[in-house]
Amino acid sequence: MNFSRKRNIVKLKNHPFGRIFWNYFEELYLRTLSTNQSLRKQTFQVIPYLVGALITGTVAFLYSRIFSLAEHWSILVFEYSPLSVFVITPLSFVLSWWVAQRFAPYTKGSGIPQVMAALELEKPEEKSFIRSFVGLKVILVKIFSSAIKVLGGGIVGREGPTIQIGSSIFLEIKRALPKWWINISEKNMLIAGAASGLASAFNTPLGGVIFAIEELSKFHIKYYKTPLFIAVITAGLTAQGLGGSYLYLGTPKTGFEGLKVIIGIVLVGVIGGYLGSKMCVLLLKFMQFFGKITSNPRKVLVIILCGLWVATTIYFLGFEAMGSGKEIMERVLFTNYKSVEWYLPLVRIVGLMTSFGFGGAGGVFAPSLSTGATVGAYVSQLLHLTGGNANLLILIGMTAFLTGVTRAPFTSAIIIFEMTDRHSIIFFLLIGGFLANIIANFVSSHSFYDQLKDLYLKDVKEKVEVKKE
């Protein structure tokens, strides 16, 4: 029976019509097999990104709650005893610096330059330092150090730290994979983690993707676009599922009426870009000055002086001289009280420099947005603009100042657009961002993050040379 069946199959294959059918069937089988292999490969590639995104979204949500609680407590303490800031602020700054310096030195500051540096460590002798920039210890120290600093009224944010946390989580997932798992690019995981962190922090998935393309990626997006999109969407949905669907700033009314608004857009774009980039130049000089101090007691003295400066501004100016500044953005966008004093942008800038420059964890994203909001509010005040017209300048001020810091106008504009759901003003935001970017390039040819990244890479190279000796 089997012999007869085989003979019939041979006759069928030799028959002209049978040969056509057999070839078609064989081709269909091979194509199906190849497709299944491709699907299996894609599935194994996507699983680590999904797991990393779920964890990142969860950690980002918990971190946002810890950070918000610390900000809330700092306000309660100030309301209860205004003079207490002269003790609490310096102490919190010293503790924030000590924890980072003692347990994970590269958790200081924002976290974005550290991720950028990790992406560029390619030589075998340098790769061991990647764990210094991203890893489990970095996550724990980052959260604690930044929360302590903001508890004392420091002008820092959690968005940059969340980016470093996201990359750290994805890297840990990558290193936990068994040896038989399909090979996954470490760089792709770092980039996807950073984008997922930003998307979770601001609830801005498009902003996360654009940030990955504009700020982090040095190669073509086609090599990692699907895992990146999946990671960003999953992390964003996870954070939303835990915290609810929300807009970071709500939906302010905006308008565009009259020649004065056009003048205001240009002024805010130019001033915001200049102040943002100039702040970074001065901040970098302060960080270099602090880095040259070799004596720990002297470092502590400088940190205490920074804390006393911030405490003084808090004591005399109140809540608007402390924290990330979200309350300022909400006030000028959603109330009729949009006026700000001329010195408030400068107070926020100096406060950010003295909160950030000595080390300890904390980002510049949200403080940059709030400072830009004060710039836009003050210019609209000078031009006697109110309502939606003033709100438009405030949002452009946020875009311009952030662009001056990051040199990423697309990312800045998209983040503001997604935070406020203002589709109609996207072109005005882009104009403000591009104007700011042009002015910022006159102030300094390199972004703040790029310069910090280069300093970290230089530090790694020096340590590698010491090891060789």
Examine the pLDDT at 32 and tell me if it is beyond 70. Answer: no
What pLDDT digit, counting tens, does each position of 71-102 carry?
999 999 999 999 999 999 999 999 999 999 99
Q: Kindly tell me if the per-residue pLDDT of 22 is higher than 70.
A: no
What is the CA angle 314-320-323, rounded to 5? Answer: 80
Cα–Cα distance measured from residue 213 to residue 60, given in angstroms and rounded to the nearest whole number = 21
Tokens of residue 276, six digits: 């943002």
Q: Can you read off the two tokens belonging to residue 132?
A: 């210094």
Inter-residue contact 19 to 162 (CB < 8 Å)? no
Q: For residues 416 and 394, what is the distance between their CA atoms, to the nearest angstrom?
A: 11
Tokens representing 271? 């001033």
Tens of pLDDT, residue by residue over 100-116, are: 999 999 999 888 899 98
pLDDT digits 0-9 by tens, 308-332: 999 999 999 988 899 888 889 999 9
Contact 62, 103 (CB under 8 A): no
Tell me the pLDDT tens digit for each residue of 195-221.
899 888 887 777 777 787 776 665 555
Alpha helix (H) residue ranges in 203-295: 205-211, 225-243, 259-291
pLDDT of res. 225: 66
Whether pLDDT at 466 is above 50:
yes
Q: Tell me what pLDDT residue 340 has.
A: 92
**Confidence band for 282, pLDDT divided at 50, 70 and 90:** very high
Q: What tokens does 281 get?
A: 């130049």
Q: Which of 448, 369, 375 is nearest to 416 (CA)?
A: 369
Q: Which of 78, 79, 82, 132 is nearest to 108 (CA)?
A: 132
3-class state of residue 281 by DSSP? helix
Choose among 307, 359, 349: nearest CA to 92.
Answer: 307
Residues 205 and 414: their CA atoms lie apart, in Å, by: 10
Give percent above pLDDT 90 in the chain: 51
pLDDT in tens, 130-173: 888 998 999 999 999 999 999 999 999 898 899 999 999 999 99
Q: What is the pLDDT of residue 14?
A: 54
**Cβ atoms 371, 268 nearer than 8 A:** no
pLDDT at 468 over 70: no
**Which residue bears the tokens 């940030």?**
211
| Residues listed for the chain | 469
d(CA 73, CA 319): 12
How many Å apart are CA 253 and CA 390, to the nearest integer?
Answer: 9
All residues at 6 or more sequence positions from 265 whose CB lies less than 8 Å from its CB, including other chains: 392, 393, 396, 428, 431, 432
* Ordered alpha helix ranges (H), 339-386: 344-356, 365-382
Q: Which of 232, 174, 179 is nearest to 48 (CA)?
A: 174
Q: Is the pLDDT of residue 47 over 90?
A: no
pLDDT band for position 418 (50/70/90)?
confident
**Residue found under tokens 């926020």:** 348
CA 271, chain centre distance (Å):
23
Across 131-218, the runs of DSSP E, i.e. the strands, are none
Residue 159, judged by CB atoms within 10 A of its CB (0-12, 13-18, 19+), counts as: buried
Identify the DSSP state of 361. B
CA separation for the pair 23, 348 (Å, rounded): 74
pTM to 2 decimals?
0.87
The pair of three-digit structure tokens given for residue 145, joined into one six-digit string: 């150090």
Band (pLDDT 50/70/90 cuts) for residue 128 is confident
Q: What is the pLDDT of residues 444-459, one digit of tens each?
A: 988 898 899 998 888 8
Per-residue tokens: 300: 């502590």
Q: How far apart are CA 310 and CA 87, in angstroms?
A: 11
Give me the phi and psi of 109, to 5 degrees please. Answer: 75, -150
The stretches of 421-447 forming alpha helices (DSSP H) are 426-443
The pLDDT tens digits of the residues spanning 343-397 come to 999 999 999 999 999 988 888 989 999 999 999 999 999 999 999 999 999 999 9
Distance of CA 363 to the CA centre of its chain: 8
Q: Please, what's the largest Cα pairwise distance for the chain?
A: 101
